Amino acid sequence: MSEPRDPSAEPERRWREDFPFTSAGEEQVTRRDFTRYLAAASGAFAAGSAGVAVFASVKPTEVASTQAIIAVRDIPASGSYLFRYPTPADPAILIRLPDGELRAYSQKCTHLGCVVYWDESTRDILCPCHNGSFEGRTGNPIAGPPDRPLSKIAIEKRDGVIWALGESE
User: Tell me, what's the pLDDT at 62?
Assistant: 56
What the chain holds in terms of domains, given with CATH numbers, is 11-58 (no CATH), 67-168 (2.102.10.10)
User: How many Å apart are CA 99 and CA 81, to the nearest integer?
Assistant: 17
Percentage of residues in the chain having pLDDT higher than 90: 44
- Give the helix ranges, DSSP H, for the chain: 11-18, 31-58
> What is the DSSP annotation of 13-33?
HHHHHH-----TTGGG--HHH
91 pLDDT band, cuts 50/70/90, is very high
Look at residue 9 and tell me whether its pLDDT is greater than 60: no
Q: Are 109 and 146 in contact (CB under 8 A)?
A: yes
Tell me the average pLDDT of the chain: 85
138, 129 Cβ separation under 8 angstroms: no
Phi, psi of 51 (to 5 degrees): -60, -40
Q: What is the pLDDT of residue 33?
A: 85
Mean pLDDT, residues 20-31 taken together: 70
Asked if residue 23 has pLDDT above 70, the reply is no
Residue 1 has pLDDT above 60, yes or no: no
